[in-house]
Amino acid sequence: MSDVDGRHLHAGTPVPDVDLETYRTLSLEDQAHEASKIDGVTITHRRDRFPVPGTKAEKRAERVVALCFVAAFVGALAFTVCYVVLPWRYDISSDSYAWFTPVLGLTMAISLFGFGLGAILWAKLLITEEESVQERHGGYSEQEDRETTAAIVSDGWDMTGIARRPLLQRVLGLSVLALGALAIVPLGGLIKKPKGELFRTGWAEGTRLMTGDRRLVRPGDIEAGGIETVFPATEEGLSMQVRADSVVLLIRLRPGQTVTPRPDQEDYGWQDYVAFSKICTHAGCPASLYEQQTGRLLCPCHQSQFDLLQDAKPVFGPAARPLPKLAITVDDEGYFVARRDFNEAIGPSFWERP
């Protein structure tokens, strides 16, 4: 209320029509009218929804609002009770626990909706209707304010005396530069040109093939038309931090299916077995949806399809290069081994890829 007196606040904004003495004698409603005028707000329409107090319509509206708050109360109470009482522990033999989360959600929703609905209905049904208009005003400060503020800032700058202390100027400049470098230098760690690691995987001559549960693979393990995901049988072969690049899909073809090999890769397969990198050459997803009759390998991410019978040539979708093929054979003890590492980089393209 004291703001009414402070006419110096915003020059140019509408000022109450009345002086403070008169203002204090006004009714609360008229006081509010006058007060909003300070902010340039004019109330253009105001009407009591229930001019005659205590009608049935008013009571009904009040009951509706009250009902919402009761619902909010009941919902909140039910939430607490359900949280304590309902079974929540995972139980394999029944799904009684399955109600826990939905019921909590439902009761909390009832409570929050009750409050929200009650507040909105209160405003819509009971509170006095009112429409106000506020005048727009320019966003800048007055000329006088701008000049005085500039004077204060300039004076402060002058008091530091930096303009006539070259030593401080230089030392400060230097330290600010060093601080900037401190922020930029760590970014250098992100700029790194890959050397050989993108062209190498965990496979080497004689590395055995191992399944995800650490079984070595022998030719009799897979039926015709079967597939197996294999990893290098080395210590870090299953480590997805180190050797996520080495995942290979070992496929045993059906009788009658043959793979036409690429030039110089005639010996990459072993009898009816072939092994391809499982990492899609488009975006690096695991391409492992294998159709054993058509010999197609699908990548689930962007629907690339590779025809394994044409040596994993991409026949559909965004992948542009065939899947790299791993040369395999069987060692003296009858286990599958890699003959050497892939002869090209696996996975998606990158700049340095030949």
Nearest alpha-carbon partner for 259 in 335, 321, 326: 326
Nearer to another protein, 4 or 336 (CB): 336
Q: CB of residue 274 vs another protein: minimum separation in angstroms?
A: 13
Sign of the dihedral defined by the CA atoms of residues 9, 10, 15, 16, in that order: negative
Nearer to another protein, 14 or 317 (CB): 317
Nearer to another protein, 82 or 125 (CB): 125
Q: CB of residue 101 vs another protein: minimum separation in angstroms?
A: 5
CB 292 within 8 A of CB 254: yes
Q: CB of residue 222 vs another protein: minimum separation in angstroms?
A: 5
Nearer to another protein, 215 or 353 (CB): 215
Nearer to another protein, 91 or 147 (CB): 91
Nearest-angstrom CA–CA distance, 124 and 318: 56
**DSSP H or E run through 277:** strand 273-277
**DSSP H or E run through 116:** helix 100-121
Cα 44 to Cα 37, 47, 131: the distances in Å are 12, 10, 6
Long-range pairs for 74-77: beta carbons < 8 A, 24 or more residues apart: 74/110, 74/111, 74/114, 75/107, 75/108, 75/109, 75/110, 75/111, 75/112, 75/113, 75/114, 76/107, 76/108, 76/111
Q: CB of residue 303 vs another protein: minimum separation in angstroms?
A: 8
Q: Please give the residue ranges that form the binding site for another protein (CB under 8 A).
A: 49, 55-57, 60-61, 92, 95, 97-102, 105, 120, 124-125, 129, 212, 220-229, 286, 288-294, 296, 298, 300, 305, 316
**How many beta carbons lie within 10 A of that of residue 12, not counting itself?**
9
**How many beta carbons lie within 10 A of that of residue 336, not counting itself?**
25
Q: Phi and psi (nearest 5°) for 77?
A: -65, -45
Nearer to another protein, 87 or 180 (CB): 87
Q: CB of residue 332 vs another protein: minimum separation in angstroms?
A: 20
Give the 3-state secondary structure of residue 143.
helix
Q: CB of residue 316 vs another protein: minimum separation in angstroms?
A: 7
Q: CB of residue 61 vs another protein: minimum separation in angstroms?
A: 6
Nearest-angstrom CA–CA distance, 50 and 53: 6
Nearer to another protein, 4 or 72 (CB): 72
Nearer to another protein, 38 or 126 (CB): 126
Tokens standing for residue 272: 């009816």
CB 225 within 8 A of CB 292: yes
Q: CB of residue 63 vs another protein: minimum separation in angstroms?
A: 10
